[in-house]
Structure formats: C-alpha cells, structure tokens
Amino acid sequence: MPESGLQGVSVIICAKNEAGNLRRNLPAILSQKYDAPFEVIVVNDASTDDTATVLKELEQQYNNLWDVIVLPDEKRTLKGKKHALSRGVAAAKYDWLVLTDADCKPASENWLELMATPFIKGKEIVVGYGGYNRKPGLLNAFTRWETLHTFLQYSTYALAGVPYMAVGRNMACTKSILQKAQQDPIWNATPSGDDDMLVRIAGNAHNVAVVGFKDSFTYSDTKETWKEWAMQKRRHLSAGKYYKPRIKLLLGAYGFSHALMWLCFLLMFMVDWKLAMVLAGIRCKGYWLIWSATSGKIFEKNLIFLFPIFDPAWAVYNFVFLPWITWKNKQQWT
C-alpha cells in the first residue's frame, strides 16, 4: 500500500551522450507507482549524440519528463558533473530529490516510493544500493562482489551513526540539504563525487537513512573490459581523500589489517602449513558467514562460492588503487 505522508519528488538524472541508456531505462523511471506527484528532470550536458532526440520522443509520451539543456560554451562555476547537477537542482519543483544515472534501471515500480519514504520521518539523505546485472565472466563477478562489499561497509557505518558515502546511482536527499552542501568549499574539489561529498559535508548520525529492500535497488551493466573498469574505479575513488580523518583512519586500518592478515597466512603457510590452514579457516568461517548473510539479503547468493578468490584479491585491489585513493586524481566528467 502507498505510504501516507508522501510528498512531491523530483528525480534528477545528469546525462552526457547517454541516448541508448535513456531509451532503455528512462521509461521504467517515468512510469513509477508513486502516491504523490513526481517529475523526472534529465540534464542533457552538451551531448553530441541523439540524447536530445530521445528526450523529445519521450516527452511526447510522458507529461512528467523535463529536459534541461547545458550548452557546450556555457559558463561553468562548478566542475564536471556538479555543474549539470546544479542546473537540475535549480529546475526541480519539489524539495525531495531522488538521484540516479542514465545507465540505471529501477528494480521495480516501487523504487521511487521506497527511496522517498524515509523523508517522512525527517531524514535528509537516503542511501540505497546500486547493483549490477549478472552476466558471464570474472570481471562481472568481481564488480558485483566489490559493489556488495562497498555497500556492506557504507550501510553499516551509516546505521552505526557514522555515514561517509553514498552511490549516485541510487540515492536521495532534500533540495535544501543539497543546496547547503553546494555552498561548502570542498564541494567543488573534484568533478565527480557529488554523492560522497554530500554525505561528507551534510551527513550525520541522525539525518541519514539506509534503504535495503530488493524493490529499492537500481541495476546497470558492468564495464566490458578491465581497462574500462579501472578507469571507472579511479573516478569512484577520487573523493575518498576528502573523507573525514576518522573515516579515513577506520577504512585505512581495515584495508591494511586485511592485507596484513593474508600476508601473515602466506608466510605462516611456508613454515607450518597445517597451523596456517587452521587459523585461516577459523577467520574465514566467521568472515564469510557475515558475507553470506549480506549476499542473501542483496540477492547475490551466487557470489558465495567466489569468496575464497575475491577475499584475498581485495587486498591486491587496495594496493593497486592506493595512489588514486590518497593522491590527486585528475578525473573528468565524460
């Protein structure tokens, strides 16, 4: 049943050369079941493909779709995607905003209602789960595993009253809190990372909600090559250096201890392999039980059998991407 107390919502999507994705995914957003008015604003950020044509076609079918055009020579006061987002926020009719990407499709027609419901209880930021479609291949499996791992981290931190990030593929916030964040000097530090920056600037123990229902998820396709995936991860990690010191310390300690543990197991294996196997088995049993429970709730149970591979691989992942986590990251909005 629809949740009483729902108010109008503005869904904002920033799109740059996303004609194909908009054609595939936008109808599922425009036809959401929502017990209050809602609009969908697509910010066409100087696209050179058929984005404008696709939006005009869809505007003839849906009366709640609006497009905002950003011209190539338009003066930009904010970097990258943040400029397009600011245009969408300025055009939004409602104070409740739901943010997603052009390459994302909601898991159900109840997605919008589930993401907006926490606002009724006074929450100002809502973090959701942005998953990936299951396809064959190791890259697809590792991307979904790493996404699950990230959700396990930021959702539990938020529930513990220490929010530090969200995913722009599936999040919501009030217009007022986003405009407040845009005034902070740190907001414009990177061309992307608007999701993490919002939580960094305005999130606290009381105003952030986590939504983990299956119908509230969004899904998109993973990258086709490891090179494309690496470029995507560099962009996603670019805001990490701006986390609060306490968060960086906690996340850094977790990553370091995880890598050190596997290194110790390896060294111990060369001295006394039986003891190494026993200790590793004790650790992995408890750790993987937590993972198993989480993967079941996120409907990724098929990843359970890959834990023995991806668990140690995550230590390598942290080492490879350390420069982009800790140093200057010159990413662009493309």
Query: Is 168 a member of any domain?
Result: yes
Domain span including residue 178: 9-243
Query: Is 256 a member of any domain?
Result: yes
Query: Is 181 a member of any domain?
Result: yes
Specify whether 197 is located in the same domain as 67: yes
Domain final residue pick, 177, 208, 243? 243
Q: How far is CA 168 from CA 2, 16, 82, 100, in A?
A: 25, 15, 12, 6
Looking at the predicted structure, is the pLDDT value of residue 3 above 70? no
Specify whether 167 is located in the same domain as 271: no
Specify whether 174 is located in the same domain as 265: no
> What is the DSSP code string of 23-35?
HHHHHHHHT---S
Specify whether 56 is located in the same domain as 176: yes
Specify whether 282 is located in the same domain as 235: no
Which CATH number does the domain housing residue 34 bear?
3.90.550.10
Looking at the predicted structure, is the pLDDT value of residue 31 above 70? yes
- Other Cβ atoms less than 10 A from the Cβ of 76: the count is 13
Specify whether 142 is located in the same domain as 207: yes
Q: Is 9 helix (H, G, I), strand (E, B) or coil?
A: strand
- Other Cβ atoms less than 10 A from the Cβ of 42: the count is 27
- What per-residue confidence (pLDDT) applies to 2? 45
Give the tens place of pLDDT for each residue, 122-153.
999 999 999 999 999 999 999 999 999 999 99
- What per-residue confidence (pLDDT) applies to 332? 52
When divided into structural domains, the chain yields a total of 2
Give the tens place of pLDDT for each residue, 48-57.
999 999 999 9
CA dihedral 166, 169, 172, 176 (to 10 degrees): 80
Nearest to 221 by CA among 108, 299, 305, 139: 139
For the chain, the average pLDDT equals: 90
Query: Is 332 a member of any domain?
Result: no
For residue 258, what are its two tokens? Answer: 């995880």
Specify whether 158 is located in the same domain as 253: no
Domain final residue pick, 213, 243, 273? 243
Give the tens place of pLDDT for each residue, 221-244.
999 999 998 888 887 777 788 899
Specify whether 218 is located in the same domain as 271: no
Specify whether 180 is located in the same domain as 290: no
**CA 288 to the chain's CA centroid:** 23
Query: Is 282 a member of any domain?
Result: yes
Specify whether 203 is located in the same domain as 299: no
Domain final residue pick, 243, 265, 281? 243
Summarize the chain as % helix, strand, coil (round to 5). Answer: 55, 15, 30
Specify whether 144 is located in the same domain as 268: no
Looking at the predicted structure, is the pLDDT value of residue 218 above 60? yes
- Greater confidence, 215 or 262? 215
- Greater confidence, 172 or 306? 172
Specify whether 106 is located in the same domain as 224: yes
Query: Is 3 a member of any domain?
Result: no
pTM for the whole structure = 0.90
Q: Is 190 helix (H, G, I), strand (E, B) or coil?
A: coil
